[in-house]
Amino acid sequence: MAFRCFRWSSYLSLALVLVIGAACRFAWAGEGQAQAEKLIRHGVELRKSHDDEAAAREFQKAYDLVHSPRASAQLGLAEQALGRWEDAERHVDEALHAPTDAWIAKNRATLEEALGIIQAHLGRIEVIGDPAGAEVSVNGRSVGTLPLADPVKVSAGQVDVEMHAPGYVAAERTLAIVGGQYQRVVIHLAKEGAAAEEPKAAPNPEPSPPIATPAVSEEGPSTTRVALKWTSAGLAGAALVTGVLFTVLHSNNVDSFNSNGCSIRGDQAVKGGGIPDAPCQSMLGTSQTYQKVFIAAYAAAGAFAATWLIFQLTEPSSPAQGAVEHALRGPVCAPALSGAGVSCAVRF
């Protein structure tokens, strides 16, 4: 009977201890939650007064107390305002992974938008190299040892990557990262003393005397002169074609004028018994216009051809030019000075 009483009293004592412990934990949690809520409210007020640095400290205290989704979200938003993109992404993303929290559900759209802005300011770098087990630091913060399991997220801008291992010479690389960029950096550490063990490089041999090279002559027509020369030739050809075309049109119009029984009396076109005729007058006007056009075209062709000929005759010779001129030797055509027509000559 005494044994049973002792056993029951032990059970009761243990139960009492558990109840008291649970009560203490609930009381401590409630007190911590209240303190965290107070810190969060104070941090919000500080952010309204644009003191994001002090607000981040308050949110960090609240987060350390309770690790609540709201504290994590507020801390991430303050870090975003301060440009601490890596920490901001971690805390806002942590908050969004609490879908059952009422405050997170209410502000999810705002938090997701903030996360998108934060991630636009982040890049990723993949650090590889050797030896295995070397410690890697990024911007002074240790991120693990080789081989790293995942790329390291970094804020856009200048990023310093350092690697060191016992018995090896530490190495450092500086990268320029833009938002959204993925960059790989490879670092191979050299063993300590390896540089001293390497054989000295043989002295450089006496430099050989410079080999004389023949000077390349730059004489010859300038680029502008060549351009003007061949532009003149092209315009002469275009004017010549225009003159020939309007000569043909003029000739056809004269044939039509004559075949319709039209004739010219003074400045008027007449028909039959000398009666002015409107169709004949129209053909006469058109014929005169065509005549003016082909005369002007032949004159322009002659002027441009003369310009081309002057450039050709006064052009300094060069080996390259000789080949071109040889290929261009042949008949040269220009308007005849005696009237409408074309005269050609062969140039040697």
The CATH number of whichever domain residue 50 belongs to comes to 1.25.40.10
**Residues 127 and 110 both lie in one domain:** no
Closest by CA position to 191, among listed 167, 165, 164: 167
Answer yes or no: is 78 within a domain.
yes
pLDDT in tens, 259-316: 887 877 777 777 766 778 788 888 888 888 988 888 998 888 888 888 888 877 776 6
- d(C-alpha 184, C-alpha 176), whole Å: 12
Give this prediction's pTM.
0.46
State residue 221's pLDDT score: 53
Answer yes or no: is 211 within a domain.
no
Answer yes or no: is 239 within a domain.
yes
3-class secondary-structure state, position 342: strand
**Residues 302 and 242 both lie in one domain:** yes
Answer yes or no: is 95 within a domain.
yes
Answer yes or no: is 272 within a domain.
yes
**Residues 113 and 148 both lie in one domain:** no
Answer yes or no: is 309 within a domain.
yes
State residue 116's pLDDT score: 92
**Residues 71 and 171 both lie in one domain:** no
DSSP-assigned letters across all residues of 238-259: HHHHHHHHHHHHHHHHHHHHHH
**Residues 304 and 337 both lie in one domain:** yes
3-class secondary-structure state, position 260: coil
Strands, E assignment, the chain: 122-130, 135-138, 141-145, 152-155, 157-164, 171-177, 182-188, 262-265, 268-271, 275-276, 331-335, 342-346
**Residues 233 and 342 both lie in one domain:** yes
Domain count, the chain: 3
Answer yes or no: is 6 within a domain.
no
**Residues 240 and 340 both lie in one domain:** yes
Rounded average pLDDT per 10-residue block, the chain, 348 residues:
49 51 49 84 92 93 90 93 91 91 92 92 92 93 92 91 94 91 92 63 46 41 72 84 87 83 77 76 84 87 85 62 45 44 44
Q: Measuring CA to CA, how many Å separate 303 from each of 285, 299, 332, 340, 346?
A: 27, 6, 14, 15, 19
Closest by CA position to 73, among listed 82, 65, 62: 62
- d(C-alpha 108, C-alpha 92), whole Å: 10
Host H or E run for residue 56: helix 52-66
Answer yes or no: is 161 within a domain.
yes
State residue 227's pLDDT score: 78
Write down which residue in 120, 149, 171 finishes a domain: 120
Helices 52-66 + 69-81 axis angle, to 10: 160
Write down which residue in 100, 120, 140 finishes a domain: 120
**Residues 227 and 342 both lie in one domain:** yes
- d(C-alpha 314, C-alpha 301), whole Å: 20
Q: What CATH number should be reported for the domain holding residue 170?
A: 2.60.40.1120
pLDDT in tens, 170-195: 999 999 999 888 999 999 999 988 65
**Residues 145 and 48 both lie in one domain:** no
Q: Judge whether 127 and 185 are in contact, CB under 8 Å.
A: yes
**Residues 331 and 255 both lie in one domain:** yes
**Residues 158 and 239 both lie in one domain:** no
**Residues 247 and 322 both lie in one domain:** yes
Name the residue range of residue 138's domain: 122-188
3-class secondary-structure state, position 334: strand
Write down which residue in 96, 120, 144 finishes a domain: 120
- d(C-alpha 43, C-alpha 53), whole Å: 10
3-class secondary-structure state, position 169: coil
